[in-house]
Amino acid sequence: MTKQFNTTKEELQKLGQEFKLQAFTLLDDLFNLAFWLVLKKRVAKKAVWITYKKAIYYCDKTKATADWNAWMHRIFFNRIFDYYSANPRAEEFGFELIDNLKVDSNLVLKFKEIYSDRIKEKELTKLLRNVPQLLLLPLVLKEVANLSYRTIAEFIDVPDGVISTRIYRARKLIFIKLLILDFEESNSVSEKSDLIFKLRVTAELLDNELPSSEKDASEEKIKTDPRLKKEYEVQELVKKVLKNSFVTKTSPERLKQKIKKKAESSFSVKI
């Protein structure tokens, strides 16, 4: 038993069994998430290693009654936030430009012709590196992990509505970047600052995140409002392309063995 733990041998072994069944089994999912959040294999490996190392070291002190899934994700996201803070991306424009860009039938048709199915992984990673981290994080959690807006909001510690705004803007921005559209040409008319509250319903409806009491009215509004109808098509098209383009990344064997060795030496349990 290592000196880091202030537990009995029986409690330590119980922690080890919990780790084996509830934390170690998250490894591939966490690595896949890490890769698409940081877009670099080396950085993803480091983020996951630090997550597990901290979880093992502090589990008897600060995990308390939290389940391992929540505990691991809390440490994981703190590590991702630290990476984002240390490696910020310069924003090219204000997010209101994304909202104000009006999509017409020609743009939708052009997107369908060029991106009918998927894009190559190299092109996808290059594209995502140009998406602000503020938008990338909830987008990846939605499209890769298929988490609900509420779960994402809890992880990031923001209201649910902020998540729908960011996911809407992330998909719209990807649409814009894939078609290499010119913001200045498309935004000659200034819109109200509250436009986003009208537009983000397209993402909420597509992702089945609306309360049942609002769903029918929102569907009808999108059918009858030409702009909302096009915005919904954009959300739908980009979601489909992303779904077909994200490749699942499994954790490297060396990383698995490193974590396994650390856990076994700490918990005195076979992992």
Same domain, 153 and 230: yes
pTM equals 0.91
pLDDT above 80 for 233? yes
Q: How confident is the model at residue 3 (pLDDT cuts 50, 70, 90)?
A: very low
pLDDT above 80 for 249? yes
Same domain, 100 and 215: yes
Least confident range of 10-24, 42-56, 119-133: 10-24
Other C-beta atoms closer than 10 Å to the C-beta of 191 total 15
pLDDT above 90 for 8? no
- Spell out the alpha helix ranges (H) of 63-132: 68-86, 96-100, 105-114, 121-128
Q: What pLDDT score does 162 carry? A: 97
Least confident range of 132-141, 178-187, 209-218: 178-187
Same domain, 240 and 257: no
The 10s digit of each residue's pLDDT in 190-214 is 555 689 999 999 999 999 999 999 9
Q: What pLDDT score does 59 carry? A: 85
**Which residue range forms the structural domain that includes residue 56?**
9-89+249-267
Mean pLDDT, the chain, rounded, equals 91
Same domain, 234 and 186: yes
How far, CA to CA in Å, does 76 sit from each of 26, 114, 197, 263, 264?
Answer: 11, 36, 31, 17, 21
| Domain-embedded: residue 3 | no
Q: How confident is the model at residue 174 (pLDDT cuts 50, 70, 90)?
A: very high
Other C-beta atoms closer than 10 Å to the C-beta of 262 total 16
Same domain, 212 and 253: no
Least confident range of 145-149, 180-184, 222-226: 180-184
The 10s digit of each residue's pLDDT in 58-78 is 887 766 677 899 899 999 999
Backbone angles phi, psi at 88, to 5 degrees: -70, 150
| Domain-embedded: residue 160 | yes
Same domain, 104 and 154: yes
Q: What pLDDT score does 188 carry? A: 45
Same domain, 219 and 188: yes
Domain total of the chain: 2
pLDDT above 80 for 165? yes
Report d(CA 52, CA 47) in Å as an integer.
Answer: 9
| Domain-embedded: residue 186 | yes
pLDDT above 80 for 226? yes
Same domain, 20 and 122: no
Q: What pLDDT score does 168 carry? A: 98
Same domain, 116 and 228: yes
Same domain, 82 and 108: no
